């Protein structure tokens, strides 16, 4: 996995770009990344002002090590082209684009960013939230080097599937797994979708836990109260770190002694276990560095 992809994205919080106070407050919220939202959180008559505010707030800085992205309005809407032009000129860490359904969509976004002078650091975060997107996830992931992150739009996916909204999210799992496979095949980051009930912390933590078990890199959030539990859920636990350190130490000792067999607590250790251990420690280190 690339250094860019190792950047912590455990918690990615949507903030309404129409609300200057909210964007200011976000400077003190310990989310790994922020999405200044020009789409769902903004009324049609406020979208132009919200666009200007989001770009100005990013330019003013004050967000520390947080990754700052701006969510444009969707392809085909009256605001999309002007959103991409303004975001490209501002040059945040990423542009989040809803309802990306095809390779052509990604390439059109990439072309617009380059036309308007977006720096290389401004990566594409593609929202996959329709059945068509699920079925084209592999092609979408491989369509552009500028595309860095998949954002799962689980609310819209449930709507499109006519699925019941159940705690297990079983109706969504097929699509989530297709996108996860595509992301890993193309070495992209993938973020789980939002959890709607901000008062249900137990349910939220349970969903975070399942997302991490699946292999998700983090989760998009709709409320600051979700940031702490999400960071905890997607951080390596102390026993994972301890085991990773033991595996690497045992492997390095065996290598220096010329031994071909490595065991830790009676378990045979192979190269794949060492790779996994190194990734755990790399994530720990990048989280620590981001908090400096």
Q: What is the pLDDT of residue 252?
A: 86
* Distance, CA of 270 to CA of 182 (rounded, Å): 25
In this structure, the number of other CB atoms found within 10 A of the CB of residue 177 comes to 14
Mean pLDDT of the chain: 94
168-213 pLDDT, tens digit per residue, is 999 999 999 999 999 999 999 999 999 999 999 999 999 999 999 9
* Distance, CA of 23 to CA of 85 (rounded, Å): 21
Q: Which two tokens stand for residue 256?
A: 């220096």
Contact 113, 146 (CB under 8 A): yes
Q: What is the pLDDT of residue 285?
A: 86
Q: Nearest CA to 56 among 25, 30, 94, 18?
A: 18
Task: Tell me which DSSP letter residue 79 carries.
Answer: T
Residues of the chain with pLDDT under 50: 1, 292
Q: What is the pLDDT of residue 198?
A: 96
* Distance, CA of 157 to CA of 172 (rounded, Å): 7
Q: What is the pLDDT of residue 268?
A: 85
* Distance, CA of 236 to CA of 96 (rounded, Å): 27
Q: What is the pLDDT of residue 133?
A: 98
């Amino acid at each position: 996995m690339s250094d860019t992809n190792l950047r912590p994205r455990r918690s990615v919080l949507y903030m309404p770009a129409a609300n200057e106070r909210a964007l200011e407050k976000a400077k003190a919220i310990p989310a790994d990344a922020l999405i200044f939202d020009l789409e769902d959180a903004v009324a049609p008559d406020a979208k132009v002002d919200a666009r200007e505010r989001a770009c100005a707030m990013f330019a003013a800085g004050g967000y520390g090590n947080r990754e700052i992205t701006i969510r444009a309005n969707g392809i085909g809407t009256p605001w999309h082209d002007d959103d991409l032009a303004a975001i490209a000129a501002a040059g945040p860490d990423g542009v989040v684009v809803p309802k990306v359904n095809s390779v052509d969509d990604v390439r059109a976004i990439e072309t617009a960013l380059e036309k308007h002078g977006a720096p290389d650091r401004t990566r594409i975060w593609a929202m996959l939230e329709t059945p068509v997107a699920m079925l084209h996830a592999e092609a979408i992931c491989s369509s552009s080097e500028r595309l860095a992150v998949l954002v799962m739009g689980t609310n819209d996916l449930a709507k499109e599937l006519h699925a019941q909204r159940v705690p297990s999210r079983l109706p969504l799992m097929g699509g989530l797994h297709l996108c996860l496979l595509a992301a890993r095949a193309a070495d992209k980051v993938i973020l789980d979708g939002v959890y709607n009930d901000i008062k249900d912390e137990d349910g939220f933590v349970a969903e975070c836990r399942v997302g991490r078990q699946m292999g998700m890199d983090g989760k998009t959030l709709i409320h600051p109260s979700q940031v702490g539990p999400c960071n905890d859920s997607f951080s390596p636990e102390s026993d994972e770190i301890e085991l990773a350190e033991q595996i690497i130490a045992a492997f390095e000792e065996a290598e220096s002694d010329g031994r071909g067999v490595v065991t830790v607590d009676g378990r045979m250790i192979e190269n794949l276990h060492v790779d996994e251990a190194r990734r755990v420690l790399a994530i720990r280190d990048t989280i620590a560095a981001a908090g400096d």
